[in-house]
Structure 1
Amino acid sequence: MASSRLLTLFSTFLFSLILVQHSLGYAPMTLTIVNNCPFTVCPGIQPNSGHEVLEHGGFCLPTLHHRSFPAPTDHWSGRVWARTGCTHDGTRISCLTGDCNGQLHCSGHGGAVPATLAQLSIHHGGHLDLTSYGVSLVDGFNVGMTITPHEGQGRCPVVGCRADLLPTCPAPLQTRSPVTAGGHVIGCKSGCLAFNTDELCCRNMYNSPRTCRASSYSEFFKHACPDTFTYAHDSPNLTHECSAPGELKIIFCH
């Protein structure tokens, strides 16, 4: 009798566990990266620690092309950026902005700054299956970028920076291509990257929401692109709880 009761309790437990797992199952999602820039862009993809590398960490997209691929089926977080001014020598690729060790496939490595970053956290929030996303200029700017969710429920705004900040980038923040490549402005540094001070980098005594403040340099980015993160403890009005979008589009030069 006791063994029969234990078997019944164990079966009930397994059934309940299966129901819980089923209720937490995540809907399929597609990630799409679109290049609307008038030049080739080589997207880089870097996962946060403990997450898988997607699409080998990078590829190239000619102008007006896109690439779609399935998102992970469990929680994933990481960043996407554009590499620009890329040239190939047969075995290696070298990019003027966003370069990742001279490789086409970044394979988990980050990109050189300055670079506009898409920051993603998908399939979190348990049974709510939330996707969070934002565009960061904390590491500077190289191309305009927006993130657009499709078919999600709840608050699912389009966010990002549509402006081209290169023509108006303040002189102290400018990154230029080599003279042999024209000497053009190809990136706009953050104040932290340009001057490397504790105050601008929100380090040491400035590393808290109370002491880390906007600067004239971060305000340049904020004025042009108010819905982006522009310094370490920035809190733009990006409140959203986008549940189970069918697709998340990252669009360069949107």
Structure 2
Amino acid sequence: MARAILWVLLTIMAVSLYAGVEGVSFDIENQCPFTVWAAGTPFGGGRELRRGQSWRVNVPGGAKGRFWGRTGCSFDGSGRGRCNTGDCGGLLNCQGSGGIPSTLFEYALNQFQNLDFYDISLVDGFNLRMTVILSNSNCRRIACNSDINSKCPRELKVVDGCRSACAAFNTPAYCCTGSFIDNCPSTDYSKFFKRECPMAYSYAKDDPTSTFTCPGGSNYRIVFCGNGASNTNSTSTSTGSLYAVE
């Protein structure tokens, strides 16, 4: 109970902090041939999305957070249960970070020079293909659309997902901690993730090719199992919506 009250207070404080800064919307859509339980913190919580369903979450400007999808979930009428991947404390309405593995979308709105910073991260591993499209057509569409689960090294594989080496082995060399905190080269495992999804974070120090920016105020569409190419730009010519996923 105390933890739930603390979370509510922190959320109220966050909303108050960002009041007056223009907010944006995040449309999360499931194009997978199976149900995905979408999650978002500190804004959103969680929602069951059957194939073709979508969920809009409004986020205040200046906020930081993440969205991800959960698989293999089962919840009772009170919203308690568990998921094979991305589980957040056994709750449908997430109140904290998701479990490993999960494909993460991370955002920081209206930061330095009024820019949004955003990325797809596989630092904790992979569970679902993901495409992210911005309403500002000058901003980069990003995606991780390789079927990593089917190619996952045996030692990283779990039900419905593929762990990162850091999650699997928890050593400084793979987690960029201890003596590797300032000098942490890529490994064969992180190179595997980078080869499969060149635009996504493959390990903790993979910043130069994995963080993207966009002028503040853009809306976002996050698609699970979309077919957008992982190396395409949202400025590519299209006869459909700016949010189109080829």
When normalised by structure 1's length, the TM-score is: 0.76
1-structure distance, mates of 2:208, 2:200: 6
Aligned residue among 109, 116, 124 for 1:131: 116
- Post-superposition Cα deviations, 1:136-156, rounded to whole Å, max 9, x if no partner, equal 00100000112211136xx51
Q: Which residue of 1 aligns with 2:46?
A: 58
Unaligned runs of 5+ in 1: 1-24, 47-52, 177-185
1-structure distance, mates of 2:67, 2:164: 18
Aligned residue among 170, 173, 176 for 2:156: 173
Corresponding letter in the other structure for 1:44: A
Please show how residues 1-254 of structure 1 align to structure 2 within 5 Å: 26-46=21-41, 53-55=42-44, 57-72=45-60, 74-91=61-78, 92-107=80-95, 109-125=96-112, 128-151=113-136, 156-176=139-159, 186-208=160-182, 211-238=183-210, 240-254=212-226
Distance 1:58 1:217, change over 3 A: same
Larger radius of gyration: 1
1-structure distance, mates of 2:171, 2:126: 19
**Amino-acid identity (%):** 38
Unaligned runs of 5+ in 2: 1-19, 227-246
| Contact 2:119/2:211 (<8 A) preserved | no
Corresponding letter in the other structure for 1:54: F
Corresponding letter in the other structure for 2:168: A
TM-aligned CA deviation for residue 27 of structure 1: 4.2
Distance 1:137 1:239, change over 3 A: closer
TM-aligned CA deviation for residue 235 of structure 1: 2.5
TM-aligned CA deviation for residue 60 of structure 1: 1.3
Aligned pairs, how many?
Answer: 206
- Post-superposition Cα deviations, 1:84-143, rounded to whole Å, max 9, x if no partner, equal 111123322321111111111112x11110111111011223xx5321110000100000
Distance 1:64 1:223, change over 3 A: same
Corresponding letter in the other structure for 1:159: I
1-structure distance, mates of 2:69, 2:129: 9
- Post-superposition Cα deviations, 1:173-220, rounded to whole Å, max 9, x if no partner, equal 1002xxxxxxxxx11011111111111111100001xx2011111111
2-structure distance, mates of 1:190, 1:78: 21
1-structure distance, mates of 2:158, 2:55: 29
| Contact 2:37/2:46 (<8 A) preserved | yes
2-structure distance, mates of 1:160, 1:236: 16
2-structure distance, mates of 1:172, 1:217: 10
Of 241-250 and 25-34, more deviation after overlay is shown by: 25-34
Question: Aligned with 1:123: secondary structure?
Answer: coil
Corresponding letter in the other structure for 1:124: Q
When normalised by structure 2's length, the TM-score is: 0.78
